[in-house]
Amino acid sequence: MLPILIFLILAGGDMARGYAIQIAVQNGARAGAEAAAIDYTPTIAETRARAIDEMSRTPGMDAGLASISPTFAQADGVTACVNPPTLANPCFATVRVTMTWRTITAWPLIPNTFTFDRSTRMRMIAAP
C-alpha cells in the first residue's frame, strides 16, 4: 500500500503544480491585456512586463520562459488601431501567453510535457 500511496501523493502534487501554472498563464494574459486597455499610450514592452510581473507571483514558475505576444488592433483583429480609439473605431488589446511545462517525474503512460496557451482580449479606453 505504501508505494501506491506515495505514487498518488507525488502525482497529486505534480497535477497541482500544473494547474497552478495554467492559472498563472491565464492571469498573465489577463493582466497584460488589462494594463494595455487602461493605458492611453500602451506599448508592447509595458504589456509584456505586466504579464511577466503577474506570472512571477506564482511560486516555482519562471515567467521568463513564457512566450508573450501582445497585439493592438480593431475588432477584425487585423486593422491597425486609430489613435486615440473612439466609440466608432474601438481598439482591442489581445495578449497571448504560451508556456511549455514539464512534470517533475516522468510518469509511465502519461505525457510529461504540456503546452499552456491562453489569450485575453480587452477593449482599450479612449483618452479623455
Predicted local confidence at residue 99, as pLDDT: 95
pLDDT for 70 beyond 90: yes
Nearest-angstrom CA–CA distance, 4 and 119: 38
H/E stretch holding 71 reads strand 67-73
Collapsing DSSP to helix, strand or coil, 76 comes out as coil
* Contacts with 101 (C-beta within 8 Å, 6 or more apart), sequence order: 18, 21, 113, 114, 115, 116
pLDDT per residue as tens digits for the range 22-35: 999 999 999 999 99
Top pLDDT among 86 and 57 is at 57
pLDDT value for 11: 83
Q: How confident is the model at residue 69 (pLDDT cuts 50, 70, 90)?
A: very high
Residue 86's identity, in one-letter code, is: T
Mean per-residue pLDDT for 51-65?
A: 92
CA quadruple 44, 45, 48, 50: dihedral, nearest 10: -110
Distance CA 51, CA 66 (A): 10
Burial of 93 (0-12, 13-18, 19+ CB in 10 A): buried
- Which residues, other chains included, contact 128 with Cβ-Cβ below 8 Å and sequence gap of 6+? none
**pLDDT the model gives residue 83:** 76
